Amino acid sequence: MSEYDEDEILCAVTGIAPTETELDNAEDGIPEGWIRLTAERKFVNPKWEAIQMVKQGLMQQTLATIPEKDRDNQLINVAIQVEAQFALLEDKTDQYFTVTEEIVIAPPETNEYVKKAIGDTLSLIGFAEIFQTEEDEDDDEAEPVAQKVEETTKA
């Protein structure tokens, strides 16, 4: 079963939808040849940050009640006490949360605009191989032969 409903799959670049044939072959959530890009961003959980600030405030408040000459000796004891008070709450609170966004792109070879726009953009960030089509591979193989012919005729 596909992760997307039939009417949900649209190319993020062109807005085109897959054909019925492409949808029939969509086994892993996207049609054959289409590209799925997923971006994740990690953030500090504001609740976890607030817990840390409360712990720090409680540490300072507790240490302020201890005579100054004894504070260094009592620091570890106060820290352990404060940690123990918040251990369960910290354990139940995730330190980070992740935001995920996903897009799908039509096969680059179906549209010259998609091929150029996506190929250029994503090759800059290291995704060049995924956008290489069979035609491109044939061109890459032909280049060295053409260069050899030119070099031998020059010599």
User: What's the pLDDT score for residue 46?
Assistant: 97
User: What's the pLDDT score for residue 116?
Assistant: 83
User: What's the pLDDT score for residue 138?
Assistant: 52
User: What's the pLDDT score for residue 142?
Assistant: 43
Q: Where are the domains of the chain?
A: 20-42+99-154, 46-93
Structure tokens at 68: 């100054």
Name the H helices within the chain.
Answer: 20-24, 46-64, 71-92, 112-123, 134-154
User: What's the pLDDT score for residue 14?
Assistant: 83
* Alpha-carbon span 80 to 71, nearest angstrom: 14
pLDDT in tens, the chain (155 residues): 345 454 588 988 888 888 888 888 777 788 988 888 899 999 999 999 999 999 999 999 999 999 999 999 999 999 999 999 999 999 999 999 999 999 988 888 877 877 888 778 778 887 766 666 555 555 554 444 334 434 444 44
Angle at 18 between CA 15 and CA 20, to 5 degrees: 145
User: What's the pLDDT score for residue 7?
Assistant: 54
User: What's the pLDDT score for residue 136?
Assistant: 55
* CB-based contact 37:131 (threshold 8 Å): no
